[in-house]
Amino acid sequence: MRSLALALALAAALQAPPRGEPQGKAGAPPAGPAPALDDKTYKHWLDFIRPSADELKWKAVPWRADFAAAIQEAKALERPILLWSDQGNPLGMVDMAPSVNTVVARRQVWSDDEVQKLAANFLPATAEVWTLATGRGPGPDFFHKAGGPTAGAMAHGLYCFTPDGEGLGFHFLSRPKEPVVKLLTEALKKWNDLVVRNGYKPKPVPALKSKETWPERSSKAGLFLVVHARDLPRGNVARPGRDDAERMWWNLSFLEFSEKEAEGFVPAGGSTATLPEAIFKKLVRRHLGDFSHGNNGGFDVERALKKGSLTSEVISATESFVTLRLRGDVTLEEGTRGYDPKAHGQQLAITGDHRIDQEGLYGFQGTFHGRAVFDTRRKKFVQFELVAAGTRKGLRPKDDYQPAPMGFAFTIEGQPEKPAPGDKTPGGR
């Protein structure tokens, strides 16, 4: 678990005193400058941004990301299905972060011991709500035959089914804890009655085989990254948030590069190179928008990218591995729909669920720093650690809309902390 004392000490050392900007509503702490990133500090902020073991407790529930495959598995195991459906898929998707409902439910529902004990009786699976409701294929077909809605906006929630598609219960959304416990308890009672009546013989649910959410995609992509977002300390406030329930909220999405795009990070014919513009835009387009509290559509980079680049520098090389230092900066700024700076001035942009509707500017300005190791034999990155730290503005809840420090961490999902035995990967820790 990350140390708050360390976070406070390092934040104080790296940040100047707060600028004394207005607090806004509901006592949101004033913004302070984002931390400086270099070889000595980026690793701390990488660990600070990424979720801790305690924050990942919800993953003790063995969620299946492929609903269609989960249906077949449930039939083979003669187990009831627990389906968690939400926008962006609760486990995250390429270029699409999960919703605020997921962010809350991970912490307040699925990390709870009582809920986990009940969930252990089911084969748990997740789905992206719009794909589930409007798609075609084994997963959506099963869902619709079991009575699931065909309108995406209505398909959010928790569903309990028998492996044969009989409904056992439903709760819209996936929080708070009390109705979820009620749903699972009642669904389990119905299921136990059916076990006796129909002669089901439930088998144990196997543990997940992979540490990766999307193993098929990650095995085929040149570079498959998980991206985490989190608010950074503000002045002497190490755990920013509106209340105890929202301290240090984080969220994730995934970013996929082809083999050719991945090789664009490696200098060719020299010791340094600038990442090609198209790949840089792909890096920042959706993943530097503030999605820590839920989905964020990111930026239209053709309009929003004011300046920025990422430089890759070879700092060591062997016959098999090249170790790279990654550095750069970025400025993104965009107006919400209908915004005219001449007519409206420098208004704040606060839109979306649970936010006031006010047009204006939003954006992110910050720096990059990180390190990566490329395997020249397999033409694949075996380690990739990149941090973006800076100041976000706009598109925040109405009581926390002042510019404030924001951090993003780009890593390979399931990346080992140290090289495998016998692996002489440079830079391993």
Q: Strands, E, within 120-264: which ranges?
A: 123-128, 157-161, 167-171, 223-231, 250-257
Strands (E), 104-153: 123-128
Segment 99-121 shows an average pLDDT of: 96
Residue ranges of the domains in the chain? Answer: 8-34+215-412, 63-198
How many Cα neighbours within 13 Å face the side chain of 214? 20
Q: What is the DSSP string of 172-193?
A: SSS--HHHHHHHHHHHHHHHHH
Share of the chain above pLDDT 90, in %: 70
| Stated pTM of the model | 0.89
- Residues 382, 262, 274, 326: is their CA dihedral positive or negative? negative
- H or E element in which residue 366 lies: strand 361-375
- 418 pLDDT tier (thresholds 50, 70, 90): very low
Looking at residue 155, its amino acid is: A
Long-range CB contacts (within 8 A, 24+) of 7-11:
7/48, 7/233, 7/238, 7/239, 8/233, 8/236, 8/238, 10/35, 10/41, 10/44, 11/35, 11/232, 11/233, 11/236, 11/238
Judge whether residue 42 has pLDDT over 70: yes
User: CATH classification of 63-198 is 3.40.30.10, yes or no?
Assistant: yes
User: Which range is least confidently modeled, 112-121, 200-209, 407-416?
Assistant: 407-416
Instruction: Give residue-wise pLDDT tens across range 43-73.
Output: 999 999 999 999 999 999 999 999 999 999 9
pLDDT in tens, 288-329: 999 998 988 899 999 999 999 999 999 999 989 999 999 999
Which residues fall within 8 angstroms of residue 189, CB to CB, at 6 or more apart? none
CB-based burial label for 22 (10 Å; 0-12, 13-18, 19+): exposed
DSSP 288: S
User: Over 60: is that where the pLDDT of 30 sits?
Assistant: no
What's the pLDDT at 354? 55
The pLDDT of residue 429 is: 34
Mean pLDDT of the chain: 87
With tokens 């109405």, the residue in question is: 398
